[in-house]
Structure 1
């Protein structure tokens, strides 16, 4: 049984590498003008509101070149402090977000150094609070520790901005599931002055065909939009909202934007529909 499971994991990783290679090749060969639908969020200008979620391009092989496919931004990672040296650099029009995993047991100073190392490369920085390894940080008894960590990283980002002469927004990614919308954590991010919140409406990997079909239910899409509306009401107009999970069509994209998200990320749709998905979603907007 263990060998079968290992074989399944290896096959899944192979498919993921092939999909990433296909996207890289499509970006190199793109000859048509990429769709344009400009939007401003987090103090940044994005050519389109559609981006690629973390996990598809962990180390930046595609990176900023995603802009030639119609994506306004791409989020690389999630990375942990020991993995930062493997991050690749690229040129292109897509804004680049870097996703940093917050893992318990790592000294706060290590995260400060990671933030300083990533700051020059990033257009925005995302703190990942949905990885299974960070679950202990979300326990009620760890709330004071989490608050101190987030506050110190926010202050570190402010210092980097002042010293570097530019602003690199700081955001955080929260899991937002049916019946479990973390309004208390969203309020904490708001009160700490975070620039953005990324709501992840999907339970996470592995991304299966069954779950992909599940998101085609209009009621499931409506539930995600309702969550965005509640988060928008809580966070107010200053804090940008991003939404990821289940976006497969132009209608899904527009519904999330109408609900209050400024930016939307895709992952499963890119895997299932290929690198032309951005053009299809945006041209039907």
Structure 2
């Protein structure tokens, strides 16, 4: 692997530009690879494959569904807030070699209180409902020390808003709840059993060293021990999911073996982000085929 920049903020922007260029003119070999794909059903949606791009790489939807031209079965946009809502919404890509599902990560700004944050999220869900194939939320109250009844009440409000929109629009749009986990921490998924028991559509376990993302953090993921610990955490989460909730994960997926290990551990969908920055725009096809 080539030398990595210590602070890859500029590298990320350059990588995103390269990815958009490649997605606009996919290689003939990539089109042939797409013909051998096997779609899977997850959260009531059909995905071309189990590999996706995590939120934060494509913030506005400039790449959007063209992620399918790079071998990805899904892409998660955002985070979108009330203040940072894109002027131009992503549209269906008619020439995509894979029909990538479109997720949107939504975030409240200056939440103030759990109730205030939930009210903001409900309005954002309403606004994104017809654009997204699925939505991802990471409420602050989900991982803060708040009374359980307060947590339960706010989760119920979000689920009630989802059901109301589904009844009004006759469109099904799954909602995924994100849990951030520090890599190496095997006891950080205590909320998984509760969320699964409440019948949420999906649970995203995100292994995150925090920002800024540096070459040091990226190289840490090359440690087989850390990869093994991460897979054990995913296995523990899977054992706690008794219902129909899907298990998604991201963080530290650098190679095809990492991708396969996460699936073997029990993940239904696997996302990456930094590998696109450090490995290049063809990483999707390398991992998914």
Q: TM-score band (shorter)?
A: 0.7 to 0.9
Q: Is the 8 A contact 1:80 1:100 kept in 2?
A: yes
CA-based RMSD? 2.1
Q: Which moved more, 1:247-256 or 1:190-199?
A: 190-199
> Normalised by the size of structure 1, how large is the TM-score?
0.87
Distance 1:182 1:176, change over 3 A: same
Task: Select the structure with the greater relative contact order (CA < 8 A; seq sep ≥ 6).
Answer: 2
Q: Is the 8 A contact 1:244 1:265 kept in 2?
A: yes
Moved over 6 A (4+): none
| Residue number in structure 2 paired with 1:70 | 71
Q: Which of these residues, 272, 284, 287, is aligned with residue 278 of structure 1?
A: 284
Q: Is the 8 A contact 2:209 2:217 kept in 1?
A: no
Deviation at 1:235?
1.3
Q: Greater helix share, 1 or 2?
A: 1
Deviation sequence 1:26-63 (CA, Å, 0-9, x none)? 00010421532422211111111110000001111101
> Normalised by the size of structure 2, how large is the TM-score?
0.86
Q: Is the 8 A contact 2:64 2:77 kept in 1?
A: yes
Distance (Å, rounded) in 1 between the aligned partners of 2:27 and 2:215: 31
Structure 2 unpaired stretches of 5+? 94-98
Q: How do residues 53-132 of structure 1 correspond to structure 2 at under 5 angstroms? A: 53-86=54-87, 88-92=89-93, 93-103=99-109, 104-105=111-112, 106=116, 108-129=118-139
| Residue number in structure 1 paired with 2:96 | none
- Residue 155 (structure 2) pairs with residue 150 (structure 1): yes
Distance (Å, rounded) in 2 between the aligned partners of 1:229 and 1:107: 31
| Residue number in structure 2 paired with 1:5 | none
Q: Give SS of 1:159's match.
A: helix
Equivalenced residues, count: 270
Q: Is the 8 A contact 1:37 1:49 kept in 2?
A: no
Distance (Å, rounded) in 2 between the aligned partners of 1:259 and 1:234: 13
Q: Is the 8 A contact 1:102 1:127 kept in 2?
A: no
| Residue number in structure 1 paired with 2:177 | 172
Distance (Å, rounded) in 2 between the aligned partners of 1:207 and 1:262: 25
| Residue number in structure 1 paired with 2:24 | 28
Q: Is the 8 A contact 1:80 1:102 kept in 2?
A: yes
Structure 1 unpaired stretches of 5+? 1-7
Deviation at 1:203?
2.1
Q: Give SS of 2:78's match.
A: strand
Distance (Å, rounded) in 1 between the aligned partners of 2:286 and 2:117: 45
Distance (Å, rounded) in 2 between the aligned partners of 1:205 and 1:181: 22
